Amino acid sequence: MRHIVLLVCLVVLTTFGPRANAAPLKPGALNKAPRLIIMLVIDQLRGDALTRHYSRLLPPGTLKRPGGLRYLMSHGAHFPQAEHDTLHGMTGPGHATIATGAWPYRHGIVLNGWRSRRTGQYRYCVADKATTAIGSRGKGRNVSPKTLLGTTIGDAIKGGAPGQKVVSIAIKDRAAVLMGGYRADLALWLEPQSHRWISSSYYLPKGHLPSWVERLNKSAETHHPQAGKWRPLGASDGRSSTAPDGGLGQGSATVNSVWGPWGDSLTARAALGAINHMKLGQTRGTDLLAVSLSAHDIVGHRHGHNAREMEEMLVSADRTIAAILRAVAKRVPGGMRDVVVVLTGDHGAPPAQSYLKAHRLPHGEIARQDMARLLEGAVTKKYGPSPLGRWLTGYSKFEYFISRSALAKSKVRLSDIERVVAQTLRKHPSIEWVFTRSQALDGRWPPGLFGVQAARGWHPRRSGDVIAIPRAFVIQKRDEVSHFTGYSHDRTVPLLFVGRHVRPGVYPKVVKTVDIAPTLAFLVGVVPPSVSEGRVLGEMLSDGSH
């Protein structure tokens, strides 16, 4: 009897226990690398978005003619709760984490931009004065990946065979640059005013766009829809709380139509152009196509997740993804069997302020300028006026930067100013926790998850001197939605993996977005990016799938 009990225990353990998660693939399983990795990001895609509007998505389709999101959900591993488990849920940090497999303290993109402690000047996260914009009709920003402190998955796979290609496309330049990394053959982003895809001299040292991109640009310049005109892509599923069919995007008549479904169509056209003209997945070695759908985020900021506009943006993303997958299924020898697709979000978002108020949920907003004035006043009251006019050079979100130039001209110490700023912030009813640079350097982090996230999201050369963590659902004033925290709504995104060796199903385990790059590296058979610290999602891998 005892033997039978032991045997049953053994069977249960080997079937359902941790060993099952680490089951090896057959010898030689990875000898044939995929031809193409498609890395898809939907900007501000929260963990619940896919299942919420499931009935509005295209049918799953087949390997030969795939659908969109439902294809990925039915053919792939679906982790509804993947986490950007760090200090700030934002576009720059999120895309960098996905591409590098590291948290911001390692890849260095701690915010979308930070401040110089000397001059107070804002430093955009991908700014690079040494470059010029290519293809711009105006003053395109000068950008490159040089602020990224590690390599990306594209950089990692490019060493495999000569002629491998990495292409990255997003309306937002920081999304395209950070996904593409150092060795991207082409990174494209959109100039909203001219509707043109543009790039940087970093990628295009010859100073001109490829001719196929110029052709795309010509058609977009002449065929753009009237701003603010937005027709629904089908009947609502009834789950959205605002806006009937006729009133989509109301109050945003002057908004550029790039920030809506048309932006997704332009992105799809650019991705299809890259697949066709750069022959992605059609030559030797593994190629990477990274695409981020940026318009979804801008609509989310304006209307909130419960709005009909966001239902439509998900449907728009679904069609965009289907168009890309169908082109790949047709063009790549071996079709979808030789392709790995990963889809996720760069961050989530809280419900809209109007929704929170209407449902008597906690909410609040902080006027950032008022807060900065309050802090400057508190320091001045304690130590007198700054010899340079200001003790604080500026702020980024709720990170505050103390002027080193002012300190050099006075007897006040950095830690003195830090203390006054932190004490003032702690008294504010909308601030939950505060920590300082001195505390961070001493390893005295906030308690629990706050501390884990703070340590992952703070960099000594880039982060603020005093960092305030607002209460959950508190946003910056004048936004309907803003996301910049590590709370569940900002950090939880869905994660989908599809490809050979990936066992389809819905996985209950909470995983981290740093796991994406090392898992891709494993499937391609290369070493993970240089600062990667995630793990291979072994629980979703098995032989015989796909």
Which positions lie near Zn ion, rule CB under 5 A?
Answer: 297
State the nearest-atom distance from the C-beta of 112 to Zn ion, in Å: 9
* Cβ-based nearer residue to Zn ion, 175 or 378: 175
Q: Compute the half-sphere exposure of residue 170: CA atoms within 13 Å on the CB side of its CA.
A: 27
* Cβ-based nearer residue to Zn ion, 128 or 297: 297
What are the phi and psi torsion angles at 355 (to 5°)? Answer: -70, -45
Give the whole-angstrom CA distance, residue 101 versus residue 529: 7
Taking alpha carbons only, the member of 283, 257, 276 closest to residue 323 is: 276
State the nearest-atom distance from the C-beta of 163 to Zn ion, in Å: 36
* Cβ-based nearer residue to Zn ion, 323 or 475: 475
* Cβ-based nearer residue to Zn ion, 475 or 541: 475
Q: What residue is closest to Zn ion based on CB?
A: 297
Give the whole-angstrom CA distance, residue 396 versus residue 116: 11
* Cβ-based nearer residue to Zn ion, 87 or 421: 87
Q: For 68-74, which contacts have Cβ atoms below 8 Å and span 24 or more sequence positions?
A: 68/317, 68/318, 68/319, 68/320, 68/321, 68/322, 68/325, 69/314, 69/317, 69/318, 69/321, 69/343, 69/496, 70/318, 71/322, 71/325, 71/498, 72/321, 72/341, 72/343, 72/496, 72/498, 73/496, 74/504
* Cβ-based nearer residue to Zn ion, 61 or 300: 300
State the nearest-atom distance from the C-beta of 300 to Zn ion, in Å: 7
* Cβ-based nearer residue to Zn ion, 275 or 299: 299
Give the whole-angstrom CA distance, residue 396 versus residue 387: 23
State the nearest-atom distance from the C-beta of 46 to Zn ion, in Å: 11
State the nearest-atom distance from the C-beta of 425 to Zn ion, in Å: 24
State the nearest-atom distance from the C-beta of 468 to Zn ion, in Å: 19
Contact yes or no for 457/114 (Cβ under 8 A): no
* Cβ-based nearer residue to Zn ion, 78 or 296: 296
* Cβ-based nearer residue to Zn ion, 98 or 392: 98
H or E element at residue 44: none
Contact yes or no for 290/39 (Cβ under 8 A): yes
* Cβ-based nearer residue to Zn ion, 134 or 170: 170
H or E element at residue 234: none
State the nearest-atom distance from the C-beta of 141 to Zn ion, in Å: 17
In the numeric block, which tokens belong to residue 459? 């960099």
CB neighbours of residue 517 within 10 Å: 29
State the nearest-atom distance from the C-beta of 307 to Zn ion, in Å: 15
- Round to the nearest angstrom and report the end-to-end CA distance of the chain: 42
According to the 3-state scheme, what is the secondary structure of 443-512?
CCCCCHHHHHHHHHHCCCCCCCCEEEEECCCEEECCCCCCCCCCCHHHHEEEEEEECCCECCEECCCCEE
State the nearest-atom distance from the C-beta of 301 to Zn ion, in Å: 6
DSSP bridge partners of 292: 41, 170
| Residue labelled with tokens 């006054």 | 420
State the nearest-atom distance from the C-beta of 426 to Zn ion, in Å: 27
